[in-house]
Amino acid sequence: MQAEALRDFILDKADNLKARDIRVIDVQKKSDITDFLIICSGTSTTHVRSIAGHVALEAKKAGHAALGTEGEKDGEWVLVDFGDVILHVMQDDIREFYQLEKLWG
């Protein structure tokens, strides 16, 4: 799956579980690690875990398994690495503290 198609797939799956304030940051000219960052919020640790887990499961079913996942235990910030796209699912207070949009935007 090409980066843009994977990005759109992940956006759709995150939206299916009511992820809030979804933002896409194109980092192709800023990073060699990935092409896109997707940042979204969940309302609780359970919601954050559910969004990340749902996206990872659906991507695996579509033949694009995640390379790695971090933060599921705490559920405040779960990162799912798909190579060309990295998904960050965060609680609002964590998102406000780290301000990834400002860092990469």
Domain boundaries, the chain: 3-104
Q: How far apart are CA 27 and CA 51, in angstroms?
A: 23
List of the chain residues with pLDDT < 70: 1
Question: Which two three-digit tokens encode residue 78?
Answer: 């779960």
Domain 3-104 annotated CATH 3.30.460.10: yes
Beta bridge partners of 20: 41
Question: Which two three-digit tokens encode residue 88?
Answer: 């960050």
In tens, the pLDDT along 72-101 reads 999 999 999 999 999 999 999 999 999 999
Q: How far apart are CA 39 and CA 23, in angstroms?
A: 5
pLDDT of residue 18: 97
Q: 78 and 69 in contact (C-beta within 8 Å)?
A: yes
Q: How far apart are CA 78 and CA 24, in angstroms?
A: 16
pLDDT of residue 1: 65
- Give the strand order in the sheet containing 85-91: 20-26, 36-42, 85-91, 77-81, 68-70
pLDDT of residue 37: 97
Cβ atoms < 10 Å from Cβ of 78: 26
